[in-house]
């Protein structure tokens, strides 16, 4: 069984584009049991991954709440039309089935006064990334920069603090991927749940703003949390280049091994970013997962590998959702 921290299949379907990485029949065949399915409202300005490093991209446009709420409703309808079940609790995950955690990547669809949060919970929302890589009413994400640390701007707003508390109350998972470092420490101080980075890597191996410093990794470990390793080549490679060709599966293993060494085997999972990023050509997409597991399996026994593929995610979800 494989549980995954992030995919953007819904965005591609909403845009009328075919999936690049996450064919659901293929997913079932390789034991992909689902995970976080992002509802992501794109900025108006087209986003293109930088091809070469160094780079320092400006902030993509902010999206006003009304517009974000309208588009998120459409994205939610797209998700509901997929042949997957929605995760209301951890027990919904089952071998041979694909189970989707409804995840907001960027909290713009939530009203500043949180008046529609309960409604979203009732529709199945179980996870919120406070920000994508832009600013909103709650927090500020990291702009895409390389090489650069994640300390790029201010921490949570008052509304952001209230949102974290409300998520704790409703037992909605709060995701810190894309959040800047001050926001990260604010969440770490406020939350009573394990700290979760659904799709981020080790900054010491790839100094992108999107990756986590050793201090952040230690805080995640100490909270009982998890990092889902992101397969985006520009967050894997030491040189930050967005080159699928010539980037091997071993780059993913490099981050997994480092995180396991730093945090311990209980705090590392997968966070593919399928259909949202350029992944190593050797992996290709979901059909490459068996090869990835074979490659990293050279270093771990079956029990350790099971933690990385699904048990750690299930433990953290259970601790967060109750
Ligand atoms: Zn993302």
| pLDDT per residue as tens digits for the range 100-117 | 999 999 999 999 999 999
* Cα 232 to ligand 1 centroid, rounded to whole Å: 10
Extract the tokens encoding 162. Answer: 């209230």
Average per-residue pLDDT for the chain: 97
* Cα 57 to ligand 1 centroid, rounded to whole Å: 15
Local confidence band at 231 (pLDDT 50, 70, 90 cut-offs): very high
Segment (H or E) for 205: none
* Cα 179 to ligand 1 centroid, rounded to whole Å: 10
Residue 130 has pLDDT above 80, yes or no: yes
Weakest mean pLDDT among 49-63, 149-163, 258-272: 49-63
- Do residues 202 and 173 touch, judged by C-beta distance below 8 A? no
Q: What is the pLDDT of residue 161?
A: 98
What structural domains does the chain harbor? Answer: 2-321 (3.20.20.140)
For the purposes of burial, counting CB atoms within 10 Å of the CB of 158, is it exposed (0-12), middle (13-18) or buried (19 or more)?
exposed
Q: What is the pLDDT of residue 45?
A: 85
Cβ partners under 8 Å of residue 2, min gap 6:
30, 31, 32, 33, 270, 289, 293, 309, 310
* Cα 265 to ligand 1 centroid, rounded to whole Å: 24
3-state helix, strand, coil in the chain (%, to 5): 40, 15, 45
Local confidence band at 51 (pLDDT 50, 70, 90 cut-offs): confident
- Whole-number Å distance between alpha carbons of 116 and 109: 9
* Cα 254 to ligand 1 centroid, rounded to whole Å: 20
């Amino acid at each position: 069984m494989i549980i995954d921290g992030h995919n953007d299949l819904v965005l591609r379907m909403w845009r009328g584009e075919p999936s690049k990485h996450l064919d659901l029949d293929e997913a079932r065949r390789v034991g992909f049991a689902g995970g976080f399915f992002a509802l992501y409202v794109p900025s108006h300005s087209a986003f293109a991954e930088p091809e070469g490093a160094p780079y320092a991209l400006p902030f993509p446009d902010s999206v006003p709440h009304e517009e974000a709420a309208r588009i998120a409703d459409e994205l939610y309808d797209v998700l509901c039309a997929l042949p997957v079940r929605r995760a209301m609790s951890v027990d919904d995950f089952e071998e041979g089935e694909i189970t989707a955690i409804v995840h907001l990547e960027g909290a713009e669809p939530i009203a500043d006064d949180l008046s529609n949060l309960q409604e979203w919970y009732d529709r199945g929302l179980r996870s919120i990334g406070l920000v994508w890589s832009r600013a909103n009413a709650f927090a500020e994400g990291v702009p895409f920069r390389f090489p650069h640390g994640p300390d790029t701007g201010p921490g949570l707003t008052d509304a952001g603090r209230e949102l974290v508390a409300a998520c704790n109350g409703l037992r909605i998972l709060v995701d810190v991927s894309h959040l800047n470092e001050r926001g990260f420490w604010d969440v770490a101080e406020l939350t009573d749940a394990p700290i979760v980075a659904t799709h981020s890597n080790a900054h010491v191996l790839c100094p992108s703003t999107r990756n986590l410093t050793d201090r952040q990794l230690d805080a995640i470990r100490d909270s009982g949390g998890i990092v889902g390793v992101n397969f985006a080549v520009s967050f894997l490679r030491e040189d930050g280049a967005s080159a699928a060709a010539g980037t091997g599966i071993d780059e993913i293993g490099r981050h997994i091994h480092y995180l396991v060494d730093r945090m311990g085997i209980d705090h590392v999972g997968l966070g593919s970013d399928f259909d949202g990023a350029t992944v190593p050509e050797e992996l290709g997409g979901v059909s490459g997962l068996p090869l990835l597991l074979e490659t990293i399996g050279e270093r771990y026994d079956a029990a350790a590998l099971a933690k990385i593929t699904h048990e750690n995610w299930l433990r953290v979800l259970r601790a967060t959702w109750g």
